[in-house]
Chains A and B, each alone.
Chain A
Amino acid sequence: MGRYVSIWFRHLHTDWFSIKNPRLKELPFVLRTPVHGRMVITSLNAKAASQGIFQGMVLADARAIVPDLEVQDDPPELTNKLLTRLAEWCIRFSPVVSVDPPDGIIIDASGCSHLWGGDNSYLKTITERLHAIGFTSRVSVADTVGLAWGLARYGHSLISLPGQTRESLLPLPPEALRLETETTERLYKLGLRKVSQFIQFPRTSLRRRFGDHILHQIDKACGQAMELLVSVQQPEPYQTRLPCMEPIVTAPGIEYALNLLLEQLCLKLRDEQKGLRAAVLKGYRVDGKVEEISIATNKATHHVSHLFKLFEIHIAHIEPALGIELFVLEATVVEDHLPQQEMMWAGVGGFEDIRLTELADNLSNKIGSNALQRYLPDEHYWPERSFRTSLSLLEKLTTQWPLDKIRPTQILSRPELIEVTAPIPDYPPMLFRYKGKIHQIVKADGPERIEQEWWIQQGQHRDYYRVEDDQGKRYWLFRLGHYHDKSFKWFLHGFFA
């Protein structure tokens, strides 16, 4: 039997505002949202509640009761954001925590509370820690999610002892079963104010009068129907752990541990036809710190020696200090990996070759993932934009490389200003001076005008010339702007083979 904790935040939104602005804690304070053209109170703090204001009240009515009411807008989407963050914070109490909108969190506390010394002190710790942050909460624990939910909101006692689900459920009001408002109202109309008054009714008559929903909710509260929790953080399925009898301080020790862990992990991955794309090795040190090294691969793999090689470079970055007592290897990104593919391409060469992928992994692991680039053609005439980096080793060409344009092999990332003597507009220059040296131009081709792509960048066009000097050296020059504008400039942009 499981144990579940339900946390109810009575003033979730207003508490959050008060944390940011402590002044609001002392004032009657509400949050408003427009509903059908009226301002309606959606959240209020304890002080406002004590003066007779309730949720769903129209703001004008509330102002009539409390003239000095502090009002602010209720931001939409705040509930989800707050609950998710609080749920992530609650992972310290149990690994499985899920959000329970609109105002709660459910924790799967099975086997957890004894670590805090029993249910009592477990709940007390949670309440106190939340209070220290600034959230008012009611926290309950029970054998089922439904009962814990009801106890947190409507129960006198917050703890339902194991095996006493039905007993704890009986004194609760019908709302504690999470029923629709309509059903609850009908129950009250019939004078059924406690669960104990109708729970023993025959199921058929309950169904006839109130529908299927009520039976389902009773089953959930009693533990006869399953209720699934969706944890905010999924537990890592591909993980191997190695606790050490003696703290490890040496590099060979770490290597040995890494090898053992990799073998276990890769065996598991291979059995499930998976491969890892990213992995992290964590070393928990005696002094409580955690040392981490991580790797990434370009393609899913479960090749032990390759992965070991990737990790090996980083082992020097681990600082064992007094020693590492627990190693955890975790595959953070896992993809399908079918062994037939690997066999087909082994030893062929080319981009599909597994050896090339491993080389790419090695390089990006050592010198950074941006160091390795492959370029594909891009449909732009502007030279700097005529190619783009490819997303992966295997990306296919969508357009062909242009063959009609003659382009230099070497290009300057920033064109260099040169001095030029040119006879008339549109004629290639006669000579140019680059880095203090004068080049007499013997042959030339051009101009090839390349216009700016105005939807990307503003500026003047370039008139390109291919020129050859008296030494037989070939250059790519361009004139920026029109000849008759007088503001034109000449640049050297590249070197031809």
Chain B
Amino acid sequence: MESASKAQILSRLQSDILRFQGFKPADHLDHSAWLGAINQSFPNATFPTGAVHEFIAPGMEEMAATSGFVSAVASHLMKSHGVAMWISQRQWMFPPSFKSFGLDPDRILFVKTSKEKESLWVMEEALKCGALTVVVSELCDLTFTASRRLQLAVEQSRVTGFVLRHRYKKLSTNACVSRWQVSSLPTDSIDDLPGIGFPKWKVELLRIRNGYPNTWNVQWNNGEFNISSRQTEPISIETEAQIKFG
């Protein structure tokens, strides 16, 4: 009897702590349904909105895969009326392609900056603006101080930020809520027909605050995720440790 109440108290305290840290409880079901198995890794089993997520994408190919995954996630967050901002120093995003990930390209504001520092300034300003739903920024490096500033900006406005790190020099600890890596996987043929199937990625959640890192195979099937866990690899505390310490 007493132990049961103790467990209750503990779980209540835990959820309180999560709330204080800015994680909202799963208020509506459709919100959590779309990420399927991935949700189990998040605190409260909900994708953390109003936070900054970090994606690492060393090469162009990884960048393309990451953009695909991020725009699919963003399309779910934005629903029908949200607006996204995409900040980049290069003009390599191809706007019409977003449509195939459920994101209307005309609901994205593209900002072209001339240097890294400017991108950070624009991202901070954009994250403070509650009229946006999603802000994506392509950055090379992200210091702890910079990431902390982004996190502070987000706490007021509840905007979700994605930092896509391309050609980074080093991966240090920062204040982002998670760290992901998305890479392409060979596609599965549709009905044994030749040709390329639906886009398929290996999605690694390397780090997540208050959650459980994991790796999945994710397929984008005409508007929804098809997610399967990867059994082969041991789970990832090691991976995080590797990143932290060398």
* A residues with CB within 8 A of B: 347-351, 353-356, 358-360, 362-363, 366-367, 370-377, 383, 386-387, 390, 393, 397, 401-403, 405-413, 442-445, 466-468, 470-474, 494-497
Q: Are A373 and B187 in contact (CB under 8 A)?
A: no
Cα–Cα, bound, A410→B95 (Å): 9
Cα–Cα, bound, A16→B246 (Å): 80
Cα–Cα, bound, A335→B224 (Å): 45
Q: Are A472 and B186 in contact (CB under 8 A)?
A: yes
Answer whether A413 and B105 are a contact pair too, CB < 8 Å, given A356-B129, A367-B114, A495-B64: no
Q: Are A472 and B185 in contact (CB under 8 A)?
A: yes
Which residues of A sit under 8 angstroms from B96, Cβ to Cβ? 377, 386-387, 401-402, 405, 407
A153 to B: closest C-beta gap in Å: 61
A13 to B: closest C-beta gap in Å: 51
Cα–Cα, bound, A467→B189 (Å): 13
B221 within 8 A of A: no
Q: Which of B148-156, B192-200, B234-242 contacts A (4 or more CB under 8 A)?
A: B192-200
Q: Are B118 and A497 in contact (CB under 8 A)?
A: no
Q: Are A410 and B94 in contact (CB under 8 A)?
A: yes
B143 within 8 A of A: no
Which residues of A sit under 8 angstroms from B187, Cβ to Cβ? 443, 468, 472, 474
Closest-by-CB residue of A relative to B186 is A472
Question: Please, what's the 1-or-0 string for B106-129, where 1 marks a CB less than 8 Å from any CB in chain A?
Answer: 111111111000100110011001
Q: Are A410 and B195 in contact (CB under 8 A)?
A: no
B26 within 8 A of A: no
The dominant DSSP class at the B interface is mixed
Q: Are A356 and B132 in contact (CB under 8 A)?
A: yes
| Cβ 8 A contact of A350, one of B82, B111, B118, B201 | B82
Q: Are A349 and B101 in contact (CB under 8 A)?
A: no
Q: Are A410 and B184 in contact (CB under 8 A)?
A: no
Top 10 closest pairs, chain A to chain B, by CB? A497-B68, A495-B64, A353-B131, A472-B186, A356-B131, A411-B94, A355-B131, A375-B95, A401-B99, A407-B97
Cα–Cα, bound, A356→B129 (Å): 7
B180 within 8 A of A: no
- Please indicate which of the listed interface residues B64, B100, B195, B199 has the most CB atoms of chain A within 10 Å of its own CB: B64
Q: Are A363 and B106 in contact (CB under 8 A)?
A: no
B65 within 8 A of A: yes
B74 to A: closest C-beta gap in Å: 13
Q: Are B60 and A410 in contact (CB under 8 A)?
A: yes
Q: Are A371 and B111 in contact (CB under 8 A)?
A: yes
Q: Are B81 and A349 in contact (CB under 8 A)?
A: yes
Q: Are A413 and B65 in contact (CB under 8 A)?
A: no
Cα–Cα, bound, A497→B122 (Å): 26
Cα–Cα, bound, A370→B110 (Å): 10
* Residues of B165-197 contacting chain A, CB below 8 A: 183-187, 189, 194-196
Additional 10 contacts, C-beta under 8 A, given A371-B112, A409-B98 = A349-B81, A353-B131, A359-B131, A401-B104, A403-B99, A407-B94, A410-B93, A442-B186, A467-B196, A494-B64
| Cβ 8 A contact of A363, one of B81, B107, B125, B220 | B125
Cα–Cα, bound, A444→B126 (Å): 40
Q: Are A472 and B200 in contact (CB under 8 A)?
A: yes
B113 to A: closest C-beta gap in Å: 6
B245 within 8 A of A: no
| Cβ 8 A contact of A495, one of B63, B83, B132, B194 | B63
Answer whether A444 and B196 are a contact pair too, CB < 8 Å, given A397-B106, A495-B64, A497-B68: yes
Q: Are B196 and A466 in contact (CB under 8 A)?
A: yes
Cα–Cα, bound, A374→B106 (Å): 6
B16 within 8 A of A: no
Cα–Cα, bound, A394→B27 (Å): 32
| Cβ 8 A contact of A383, one of B94, B111, B185 | B94
Which residues of A sit under 8 angstroms from B64, Cβ to Cβ? 408-410, 474, 494-497
Q: Are A350 and B99 in contact (CB under 8 A)?
A: no
B92 within 8 A of A: yes
Cα–Cα, bound, A165→B1 (Å): 112
Which residues of A sit under 8 angstroms from B118, Cβ to Cβ? 367
Q: Are A374 and B81 in contact (CB under 8 A)?
A: no
* Residues of B134-158 contacting chain A, CB below 8 A: none
Q: Are A359 and B92 in contact (CB under 8 A)?
A: no
B115 to A: closest C-beta gap in Å: 10
Cα–Cα, bound, A370→B69 (Å): 28
Which residues of A sit under 8 angstroms from B199, Cβ to Cβ? 474, 496-497
Closest-by-CB residue of B relative to A493 is B94
Q: Are A350 and B125 in contact (CB under 8 A)?
A: no
Q: Are A409 and B68 in contact (CB under 8 A)?
A: yes
| Cβ 8 A contact of A471, one of B99, B112, B184 | B184
B216 to A: closest C-beta gap in Å: 15
| Cβ 8 A contact of B105, one of A356, A401, A494 | A401
Cα–Cα, bound, A450→B233 (Å): 43
Which residues of B sit under 8 angstroms from A367, Cβ to Cβ? 111, 113-114, 118, 122
Question: Please, what's the 1-or-0 string for B191-225, where 1 marks a CB less than 8 Å from any CB in chain A?
Answer: 00011100111000000000000000000100000
Cα–Cα, bound, A373→B95 (Å): 11
Which residues of B sit under 8 angstroms from A386, Cβ to Cβ? 96
Which residues of A sit under 8 angstroms from B67, Cβ to Cβ? 409-410, 497
Answer whether A413 and B130 are a contact pair too, CB < 8 Å, given A350-B83, A471-B184, A497-B67: no
Q: Are A497 and B65 in contact (CB under 8 A)?
A: yes
B5 within 8 A of A: no
Which residues of A sit under 8 angstroms from B189, Cβ to Cβ? 443
Q: Are B100 and A350 in contact (CB under 8 A)?
A: no
Which residues of A sit under 8 angstroms from B106, Cβ to Cβ? 374-377, 390, 397, 401
B133 within 8 A of A: yes
Cα–Cα, bound, A370→B113 (Å): 10
